Amino acid sequence: LFADIFPDSEIAKNYSAAKTKTTCKLNGALKPYFLEETVKHLQKEPFSLSTDGSNNTGIQKMNPITVKLFDVNHIYHQFLDIGITVGRHSATAEVIFEGTDHCLQQYNVPWYNCVNFSLDNTSVNTGKHNSLMSRAKEKTKDIYICGCLCHIIHITASKASAEFAQETGFDLDDYCIDVSYWFTKSTKRKAGLEYCQFCDQDYKTAIDHVSTRWLSLEMATNRILQLYRSLKSHFLSETGSQARFKHLRKAFLSPITEVYLMFFQHVFPLFTNLNKLLQREEPLIYLVFQEMQKFLKKILGKFVTAEAIVQGGSDLSKVDYKNLDKQLNDAHIFIGSITRAALTKGMKDGDIDEVSVNKFFDGVHAFYVKTCAYVMENLPLDDEVLHNAPCIDYTQRFDKVLPYSSPEEEEKLSDEFLDYQTMRVDGQKEEFYRMDIIWGYLTTMKESALTSLPRFTHLGKVAKLILSLPHSNTDAEQVFCLVRQNKTAFRDSLSLEGTLSSLLTVKMARPESEGSYYRFEPPDVITASKKVMWEYNEKHQEVRK
């Protein structure tokens, strides 16, 4: 490959690196090099720990361990260990935590530096007893564990849709999967372009929906609505005996089906916008509380009177949303202007009867009520850390990491916070759009031109600690995307604890230079790789003899 890329280079022509040499370089040189700086940081500074279990059915189960830390002027997400567990008890909290604890002990990383343990919301992870959370709190009682907000939002939408289906008989999840499978599994059906031409629509493929990913359901619904006339023409013109075909034909025969889809199209952005925000890479822990409040307020505003919301005060959990007298009637409940126009037209034309209309509004009310109930029960709306994160007023939670307990240190911290609040912003650089980059810059500021003392010594440490807290567990899940990209059906022999783990370490590592990877030329790695090669050849020759 190098010879083809650099045909004029003699070095490239003579370069060779087969499986053995490449594997040795990766495992014996590159991985230790990139891991060394990360471990040094974890031994001295606060960090967040994340893990997520694979759902494969193999003998070995992966529980990748990643960390989030503030280094220089940026938040970084680093890979620490693949976290392999084996045996019939490999998915239990006891075995998984033993592996996590062993990983930290192996690198001499103290648990009290771990300020957060980011986990999914399963009982194995966050249950009150016999879970990863309970075991982590035994190691350090002040560790912060919140669960994954993205999963809660997804489950909220799923639960609310189930309530809608119970009232109306229309299950959007099943409907989108049926449409996708009907065309995906048949080349002949995909070729039904004449229905799009007949209905004067551009040909588009149906989007596959995965039931465990709510974001795909929004895209699938939007695509079905774009092709609705063509799809309806197809199912009403064709004949078939399959159960899936009969189910879809019945749905397209009913005029209220399109109204159902339009309602979901209207309400989807409430969930997906928050979900996508929580999946962003930059640290957003300081925004989580207000975004949760905004989300709940928007949902309440869809079906509860403004007077009832105002009566609840600043605490939205006190709003009496289940009281029918406090809810908007069918004429005023928010279903989207396009949805209401389609519903009104269908009623006026006589296509949609009163029974179907009543069922629809019963489903809408059930959807909104279930959304509020699940959100208030499961989202951390009263979490102290999230509530105080914007004003960074919770150093006592991590007193071992931030030992500001003396009156003098507390006074210095208060002075720095006042200085920070009253800073002029007109002199700051406009390219600072990420909060971690902003604080990376603020911590380099000096008290004055006459002194080299930092302006925000104490407050900077507090801010960095807060920014190292994750706002969801998506970082851990992204590791599995890298796993699937590297351990494919054509490369299924990669050792999980060896080559694959090393690949993930290198791919997720930050190069020393802030520029492109081609500028990264660490001489120590080259020296180490030669040593590894020499040791391997030496042992290989002894085996031969």
More confident residue, 27 or 477: 27
Burial class (CB in 10 A: 0-12, 13-18, 19+), 252: middle
**pLDDT reading at 203 higher than 60:** no
Q: Which two tokens stand for residue 417?
A: 């916070």
The pLDDT assigned to 366 comes to: 97
Residue type, 43: Q
**pLDDT reading at 452 higher than 60:** yes
Question: Residues 8-29, buried b or exposed e (16+ Cβ, 10 A)?
Answer: eeeeeeeeeeeeeeebbbbbbb
Report the interhelical angle of 457-467 vs 435-442 (nearest 10°).
160
Interior CA angle at 479 toward 502 and 29, to 5°?
15
| HSE-CB for 108 with a 13 A CA cutoff | 5
Among 238-247, 357-366, 511-520, the least confident range: 511-520
Rounded to two decimals, the pTM is 0.78
Beta bridge partners of 61: 85
The pLDDT assigned to 397 comes to: 38
* Confidence band, pLDDT 50/70/90 cuts, at residue 256: very high
- Measured CA to CA in angstroms, residue 56 lies from 140, 216, 244 at distances of 31, 22, 28
Question: What distance in Å separates the CA atoms of residue 227 and residue 221, rounded to the nearest whole number?
Answer: 10
Per-residue pLDDT tens digits for 398-442: 454 455 556 666 666 666 666 655 555 554 444 446 776 676 667
Average pLDDT over every residue of 485-509: 74
More confident residue, 202 or 278: 278
**pLDDT reading at 133 higher than 70:** yes
More confident residue, 518 or 145: 145
Return the H-helix or E-strand segment holding 4: helix 2-5
| Secondary structure percentages of the chain, helix, strand, coil, to 5 | 60, 5, 35
Ranked by mean pLDDT, the top range of 11-20, 269-278, 382-391 is 269-278
Q: Which two tokens stand for residue 74?
A: 């940026």
Question: What distance in Å separates the CA atoms of residue 21 and residue 26, rounded to the nearest whole number?
Answer: 9
Among 175-179, 244-248, 450-454, the least confident range: 450-454
CA dihedral 25, 30, 35, 38 (to 10 degrees): 180
Per-residue pLDDT tens digits for 99-127: 999 999 999 999 989 988 988 888 888 88
Question: What distance in Å separates the CA atoms of residue 225 and residue 168, rounded to the nearest whole number?
Answer: 19
- 423 in Cβ contact with 405 (< 8 Å): no
* Ranges of H-type helices in 169-255: 172-184, 187-190, 193-198, 214-226, 228-237, 243-253
Question: What distance in Å separates the CA atoms of residue 327 and residue 332, rounded to the nearest whole number?
Answer: 10
Of the chain, the percentage scoring pLDDT greater than 70 comes to 73
Comparing CA positions, the residue from 271, 257, 269 lying closest to residue 165 is 257
Per-residue pLDDT tens digits for 345-382: 999 999 999 999 999 999 999 999 999 999 999 999 98
SS3 call for 33:
helix
CA dihedral 150, 155, 158, 164 (to 10 degrees): -120
Among 39-43, 324-328, 536-540, the least confident range: 536-540
Comparing CA positions, the residue from 298, 245, 239 lying closest to residue 268 is 298
Burial class (CB in 10 A: 0-12, 13-18, 19+), 349: exposed
Question: What distance in Å separates the CA atoms of residue 238 and residue 183, rounded to the nearest whole number?
Answer: 13
What DSSP designation does 511 have?
P
- Measured CA to CA in angstroms, residue 512 lies from 31, 33, 37, 46, 472 at distances of 14, 11, 10, 21, 27
Comparing CA positions, the residue from 456, 461, 452 lying closest to residue 422 is 456
Residue that is written with structure tokens 């080349």 in the block: 187
Average pLDDT over every residue of 37-46: 89
The pLDDT assigned to 443 comes to: 72
Long-range CB contacts (< 8 A, 24+ apart) of 269-277? 269/218, 270/295, 270/298, 270/299, 271/153, 271/154, 271/156, 271/157, 271/214, 272/214, 272/215, 272/218, 274/153, 275/150, 275/153, 275/154, 275/214, 275/215, 276/215
**pLDDT reading at 147 higher than 90:** no
SS3 call for 87:
coil
Comparing CA positions, the residue from 198, 350, 364 lying closest to residue 267 is 364
- Measured CA to CA in angstroms, residue 338 lies from 67, 332, 345 at distances of 46, 14, 11
Per-residue pLDDT tens digits for 281-291: 778 888 888 89
* pLDDT, mean over the chain: 79
What DSSP designation does 144 have?
B
**pLDDT reading at 514 higher than 60:** no
Residue spans of beta strands (DSSP E) within 384-533:
none
Residue type, 424: R
SS3 call for 317:
helix
Question: What distance in Å separates the CA atoms of residue 98 and residue 141, rounded to the nearest whole number?
Answer: 18
Query: Residue 332: which residues within 8 A CB-CB, separation 6 or more?
Result: none
Of the chain, the percentage scoring pLDDT greater than 90 comes to 29
Per-residue pLDDT tens digits for 296-346: 999 999 999 999 999 888 889 899 999 999 999 999 999 999 999 999 999
SS3 call for 357:
helix
The pLDDT assigned to 123 comes to: 86
**pLDDT reading at 181 higher than 70:** yes
Interior CA angle at 154 toward 150 and 156, to 5°?
115
**pLDDT reading at 267 higher than 70:** yes
**pLDDT reading at 55 higher than 90:** no
The pLDDT assigned to 359 comes to: 96
